[in-house]
Amino acid sequence: MATASQASLLLQKQLKDLSKNPVDGFSAGLVDDSNIFEWSVTVIGPPDTLYDGGYFNAIMSFPPNYPNSPPTVRFTSEMWHPNVYPDGRVCISILHAPGDDPNGYELASERWTPVHTVESIVLSIISMLSSPNDESPANVEAAKDWRERRDDFKKKVRRIVRRSQEML
């Protein structure tokens, strides 16, 4: 039980730090005030990218042994990106369990370490929106569009950006 209470204290501190010192490009809060382990995050599409001006909502779910294990992040807004599974789950190295990659794609240093914070995770997601990695895609169709049909990819992203703005 000690780990869950330590995780809870750490998450409370990170939430407090973010409310005192907001970071450009996203906002975060709790889905339900009684559960520090489920956060609602809004990522603002980074300027000068295809996602510019979009408002994308996601849920961050933290395990009871956080920060020893990474949270999961799932977009609840529509998202078209090579590194986001069709169900909205984000697939980036720092959200993968610590240690060696069983598939041999990532170095252990690229994977989760307990020094990551909510801020560093969301900044990595913003960076992912700026530069997709189509080498090991979570969404094969989006990666194909990105590589082979860039105009189609751009159209789909413009549509989801527009829809995200209409949801405001």
pLDDT digits (tens, 9 = 90+) for 48-89: 999 999 999 999 999 999 999 999 999 999 999 999 999 999
Predicted confidence band of residue 1 (pLDDT cuts 50, 70, 90): very low
Name the superfamily (CATH) of residues 2-166.
Answer: Ubiquitin Conjugating Enzyme (3.10.110.10)
pLDDT of residue 108: 85
All residues at 6 or more sequence positions from 167 whose CB lies less than 8 Å from its CB, including other chains:
55, 77
Q: Concatenate the DSSP letters of all residues of the chain into one string.
A: -HHHHHHHHHHHHHHHHHHHS--TTEEEEESSTT-TTEEEEEEEPPTTSTTTT-EEEEEEE--TTTTSS--EEEESS----TTB-TTSBB--GGGSPSS--TTSSS-GGGS--TT--HHHHHHHHHHHHHS---SS-SSHHHHHHHHH-HHHHHHHHHHHHHHHHHT-
Residue 107 has pLDDT above 90, yes or no: no
Q: What confidence score (pLDDT) does residue 2 get?
A: 55
- In this prediction, residue 3 carries a pLDDT of 75
Tens digit of each residue's pLDDT (9 = 90 or more) over 127-158: 999 999 888 899 999 999 999 999 999 999 99
Active site residue 91: yes
What residue segments make up the domains of the chain, in order of their start? 2-166
Distance CA 103, CA 111 (A): 13
pLDDT band at 99 (very low <50, low <70, confident <90, very high): confident
Note if the pTM is more than 0.75. yes
Specify the higher pLDDT residue, 108 or 49. 49
Catalytic residue selected from 91, 126, 143, 160: 91
